[in-house]
Structure 1
Amino acid sequence: MSVRTASVSAARSEGELWSRARRGDGDSFAVATGRYRRELEVHAYRMLGSAEDAEDIVQETFLRAWRKRETFRGQATLRAWLYGIATNASLDLLERRSRRLLPHLVSAPIDPETLPEPSRDISWVRGEMTWLEPYPDRLLDEVVSGEDPPDEAIVARETVELAFLVAIQQLPPRQRAVLILRDVIGWSARETAAMLEMSVVASNSALQRAREMLRDYPPERRDEWHREHRPDPREQEVLMRYMDAWKRTDLNALAALLKEDAQLTMPPTPGWFFGRDAILRFYARYPFRVGASEHLHTPTRANRQPAHAVWRRVQPDAPPKPFGIEVLRIEDGLIAEIHYFLQPELIGRFAIAPPA
């Protein structure tokens, strides 16, 4: 069967499913829309910066689509129609929610010596803001591994790494939506304008303003985006050396891995550290001083970046408890950023078994 024949066959199948769904067949609706679930979730995650909120938006998208199912008669593709609903549902939520950033964009770095005395009680780290959250690579991989997958560019590293997400979170919501729909997903100006119920001129203007604010994210040419999903072995080596330094509480080994201008953030605490020296002083005062041997580490991937889950064994004979997720950004073989999400609940989304 040729690619064209397969595509036509798939379209006919989807059309038949939607014809039944329009008449109230819930099973057909679930099959027709379900194939886009993960793709829509990643889209909502880019819009909102929260995996949990993105899951809620997908549910809201399907609910709105079901209510309006009789109005969709193929004037656009089902995928485009669902993207429009998901985008507008995200914009509705953003009217009630603040943008999600990371601490280094909100406040000045802090001196490790000004922190409270070390303690196993980390309740002091809880801030009042909501922060950007990591997203598991295993879920990104699902987008391009299913039936009739979209262009792999929509989960390219340049469009999901934390640096890009932090950058687009600083855009006004509607500009953010236009940028994602046009430059990341690849919809046309006319399609984007229809989704957002705005003129093509207004859509192009919003895109131009967004691009001016984000000149470095992502590269203009989509064929230059990094679409390789397998971990970079050089980055994985740095991750393993970093985890080993943790295990051995080896400050010298850690120092050898850090760039001089490295940054460490620890959401949900608003505090962060700038520079190799400050990070080393923090590790000497806290992680490597208070129960470092209790911490266990499992390598993983988040946002197409090397990461590891951190567990804590409080009692020798007790199973370890989830503690958080660390995501690294590596430049030229050295760690440029450490984002340590001190949120145990995140580990469940990564589906990682605790270490023995």
Structure 2
Amino acid sequence: MLTDPTEQAFIAALERHRDGLGRHCAYLLRSPADAEDALQDTLLRAWRYRRSLTADDPRPWLYRIATNACRDLQTRRDPPCSSLEDEPSEPAAPRDQLPEVQALERETVEHALLAALRYLPPRQHTAFVLRDLLCCSSRETAAALSISVPAANSAVQRARTALRTRLDRDSVDWPALSAPA
């Protein structure tokens, strides 16, 4: 059992942020198994380097560790992009069943967004996930990426622009999502 109050406080902080870190890893890696591996690696790295934490709020520091763990895992595994055409398709829901149609349309939008996200550079992808999916502040995003706040804002804006461009271009020709530009 730990008796050091600072270690107990650190463990409590890890527990507070664990779910958010897990979502962050899942968004970046797009695989539940890989996300769990990256989360475990994040928690281990955080524990090892807990004495290097100098800020009062460990959230940006933890997200930077998680981002690096995800990038390291991607580098080691480097999975190829798969086409949406490779995935088994289900027949479209009848128009008279409105809830199913809405669910299908939502899934289509989600698939299109996930496919478009594949083409973003790693920094833009991470910045977009942190800001727009995990609702982190500009400061937290910058700290997680180890860059300045203006650079983080710029990365988010470039990501949004690239996503809009890709989604607008591909909205007419959905199969083009599988081919890089």
How does the TM-score come out when normalised to structure 1?
Answer: 0.36
**1:234-249 equivalence runs, <5 A:** none
Choose which of 40, 47, 71 in structure 2 pairs with 1:59.
40
Choose which of 114, 138, 158 in structure 2 pairs with 1:189.
138
1:91 aligns with 2:71: yes
Contact 1:48–1:99 under 8 Å retained in 2:
no
Higher strand fraction (1 or 2): 1
Distance 1:32 1:191 in 2: 16
Deviations along 1:55-100, one digit per CA (max 9) or x if unpaired, are 0111111111111111224x25233322221112112222333356
Distance 1:55 1:168 in 2: 21
Distance of aligned partners of 1:172 and 1:210 in 2 relative to their CA distance in 1, 3 Å threshold: same
Distance of aligned partners of 1:211 and 1:99 in 2 relative to their CA distance in 1, 3 Å threshold: farther
Higher Rg of the two aligned structures:
1
Contact 1:18–1:32 under 8 Å retained in 2:
no
Contact 1:167–1:214 under 8 Å retained in 2:
yes
Q: Could you list the runs of 5+ residues in structure 2 that have no partner in the other structure?
A: 87-105, 168-172, 176-181
Distance of aligned partners of 1:164 and 1:99 in 2 relative to their CA distance in 1, 3 Å threshold: farther
Higher helix fraction (1 or 2): 2
How does the TM-score come out when normalised to structure 2?
Answer: 0.66
Matched with 1:82 is: 62
Distance 1:100 1:77 in 2: 37
Matched with 2:24 is: 43
**1:108-119 equivalence runs, <5 A:** none
Shift of residue 163 of structure 1? 3.6
Distance of aligned partners of 1:203 and 1:41 in 2 relative to their CA distance in 1, 3 Å threshold: same
Choose which of 176, 180, 184 in structure 1 pairs with 2:125.
176
Distance 1:206 1:105 in 2: 30
Contact 2:64–2:146 under 8 Å retained in 1:
no
Distance 1:165 1:18 in 2: 44
Query: Percent identity over the alignment?
Result: 46
